[in-house]
Structures are given as C-alpha cells and as structure tokens.
C-alpha cells in the first residue's frame, strides 16, 4: 500500500510540474514579439534626421516648395499684425468689463 501512495505522489508531482511549465510557456509565447514594432515602421531617430522637401502654406494649405515656405515664414515674421482702431479697442474693453460685471452680478441686466 505504501508503494501505491508514493507512486501516486510522484505522478501528481510530475503532472503539476509539467502543467505549470506548460502554462508558463504558453503565457510567455508571444510577449517578446508583441513589444517590437512592425518591420515596415521607420524608426523615430531616422525620421528626425529626414529633411522635409515638401511643405504646405499656413495661409491656404496649398503645397509649396521648401524655399517658398521659408520665404513665406520670413515675410510673415516681418509684417506686424494689423492694429485695431482706438474706437474698436475701447468698445472691446467696455464689453470685457460688462462681461466681468455680469459674472459678478448676474441679476443686473446691463
């Protein structure tokens, strides 16, 4: 009777060891491969050093060459933004004050 119990223990130990190794292998089967990017993907280091020859106009979105894009950027930096007239600036200031007052005192109907 003692041989039967020891034989069953050995079989149970072997079965548990084999099943745990099998579960471990199945769970780690594709984990190393899933972390890698697809082979057709270009690395970021190469993309950062790539010289861009085509550009789009920031004004209308049409394709332009790199030299035209550089000229347009220089021209946009030189031209100052248009200034508002004093009447319009004062009107905007008064509207902002009105909005602030309406937030503080919503019951006022200005």
- Measured CA to CA, the distance from residue 14 to residue 6 in angstroms comes to 12
Residue 80 located in a structural domain: yes
Residue 72 located in a structural domain: yes
State which residues form the domain around 62.
37-104
Looking at the structure of the chain, the number of domains it has is 1
Residue 98 located in a structural domain: yes
pLDDT digits (tens, 9 = 90+) for 67-95: 888 888 888 888 676 788 889 999 999 99
CA-angle at 52, arms to 48 and 57, nearest 5°: 125
Residue 2 located in a structural domain: no
Residue 109 located in a structural domain: no
Residue 84 located in a structural domain: yes
Sign of the Cα pseudo-torsion (91, 96, 100, 106, in order): positive
Find tokens 């200005």 and name the residue.
Answer: 110
pLDDT digits (tens, 9 = 90+) for 9-68: 888 889 899 999 888 888 777 665 566 778 888 888 888 887 777 788 888 888 888 888
Nearest alpha-carbon partner for 103 in 14, 79, 1, 95: 95
Q: What is the pTM of this model?
A: 0.30
């Amino acid at each position: 009777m003692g041989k039967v119990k020891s034989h069953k223990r050995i079989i149970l130990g072997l079965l548990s060891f084999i099943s745990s190794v099998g579960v471990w292998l199945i769970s780690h089967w594709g984990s190393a491969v899933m972390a890698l990017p697809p082979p057709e993907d270009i690395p970021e280091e190469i993309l950062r050093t790539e010289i861009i020859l085509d550009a789009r106009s920031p004004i209308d979105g049409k394709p332009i060459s790199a030299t035209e894009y550089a000229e347009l950027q220089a021209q946009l930096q030189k031209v100052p933004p248009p200034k508002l007239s004093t009447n319009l600036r004062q009107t905007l200031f008064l509207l902002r004050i009105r909005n602030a007052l309406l937030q503080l005192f919503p019951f006022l109907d200005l």
